[in-house]
Amino acid sequence: MKTYTSKQGDLEHQWHVVDADGVVLGRLASKVAQIIRGKHKPTFTPHMDGGDFVVVVNAAKVRLTGRKLEQKRYFRHSGYMGHESFIPVAKELANHPDRVIERAVFGMLPKSTLGRQALRKKLKVYAGSEHPHGAQQPKPLDLTRK
C-alpha cells in the first residue's frame, strides 16, 4: 500500500458560512479550526493547505459557558517590565467580537507558518448577520446538531 499525498492541483477550496448565534465559543472554534485546516476531508495532508474558507456571522452573539464573561481575561505584554495588560473577555466581546473568535480559533491551529496563513486567509468573522462573500456561494454549516 502507498500513502496518498495531495498535490497542489488536486486541492479544492469550498466556502462555508457558520452562524455563531447561541453556539458555545470553544465548540465553534474547534469545528472551524478543523475546516480551515482541512481535517474534515479524506485527502488531508498535514504539510499542505487543503482547508476550506469559513465565514462566521453573528460573532457578537456567541455564548460563553460558566463564569467566563466575568473571570476570563486576555493577556498582552509590551516587552517592558510591568507593561502587561489584561482585557476582560466581556469588554473584548462588546467592542471587537471578531477578535474573540479569531483568538479562539488561533489557539486550535498549529503554531507554524501554515497555521498563521490559514487563519489570515481562510477565516472571515463578522459581528452582524451580513457578509460580503455572497458571490462565493458559501454553504451553511450547522453546528447545533449532534
**Which pLDDT band holds residue 143 (cuts at 50, 70, 90)?**
confident
pLDDT of residue 145: 63
Residue 100 three-state SS: helix
> Which residues have a Cβ under 8 Å from the Cβ of 1 and sit 6 or more positions away?
none
pLDDT over 90, % of the chain: 84
Closest to 29 in 3D by CA, of 59, 73, 68: 59
Contact (CB, 8 A) for 105 and 32 = yes
CA–CA gap between residue 96 and residue 2 (Å, rounded): 47
Taking only the tens place, the pLDDT of each residue in 61-93 is 999 999 999 999 999 999 999 999 999 999 999
Q: Is the pLDDT of residue 124 over 60?
A: yes
CA–CA gap between residue 45 and residue 6 (Å, rounded): 6
pLDDT of residue 10: 85
Q: Is the pLDDT of residue 146 over 70?
A: no
CA–CA gap between residue 45 and residue 4 (Å, rounded): 9
Q: Into which CATH architecture does domain 14-64+96-141 fall?
A: Alpha-Beta Complex (3.90)
pLDDT of residue 98: 96
The pTM (predicted TM-score) of the whole model is 0.91
Mean pLDDT over each residue of the chain, to the nearest integer? 93
pLDDT of residue 9: 87
